[in-house]
Amino acid sequence: MRISKNLSADHDLIKRFLNVLGSASVKVRDNKRAKPNFFILARQFMIEYVEKGFFKKEEVIIKILEEAGFPDDQGPIAAMRADQQKSRVAVEALMNTNAVWQTGDESIRTEVGWAASEYTASMRQHLERLKTLIFPLLEQTIPMDAEDKVSEEINSIVFDGGLKDGPEKYIQLVDKLESELSDWE
């Protein structure tokens, strides 16, 4: 299916980000080299790449499901919206706890790790739901001739901010997070 294929690069980069954030969520609790700035950079990816970009692409999928007659308040649309909201709540919790850590309160590290873990778990679940439930449902819902049009619409979405020039900024951001995390060892 072309839609899932078009989103595979986004999925791969998000999974790579989730791997580094997940590792950081475990190490932050006891590692004295861990710094709050790591999570500020992580937030940039979460907001700019996931929230303003990937979720924007998902709106095309939601629109297709609505046009196919799926209700907003249950089923696949409600599940996607709930996943997105859970992600937003986790980002907010991460930033709130990280802000306390920035003031010098080292005792909050466990909560920072927990919030990062909540984000990674919710996004992993969301990506899995897309792969195993939403994409197969789209395959059954969209006629093949409309699939190309939908794929073009998804590809034409330009993220607010840095992605209008390509994903390189966010690839480099994940590279930087991976490098910083390796310095914690």
Identify the pLDDT of residue 150.
Answer: 79
Identify the pLDDT of residue 126.
Answer: 96
Whether this model's pTM surpasses 0.85? yes
Identify the pLDDT of residue 185.
Answer: 78
Handedness of CA 132, 178, 84, 98 (dihedral sign): positive
Identify the pLDDT of residue 161.
Answer: 52
Identify the pLDDT of residue 148.
Answer: 76
Tokens of 90: 């986790």
Confidence of residue 140 (pLDDT cuts 50, 70, 90): confident
Tokens of 39: 């999570």
Tokens of 145: 């001739």
Half-sphere exposure of 143 (CA within 13 A, CB side): 3
Q: What is the pLDDT of residues 96-109, one digit of tens each?
A: 999 999 999 999 99
Confidence of residue 5 (pLDDT cuts 50, 70, 90): confident
User: Taking Cα atoms as reference points, which of 49, 127, 46 lies closest to residue 90?
Assistant: 46
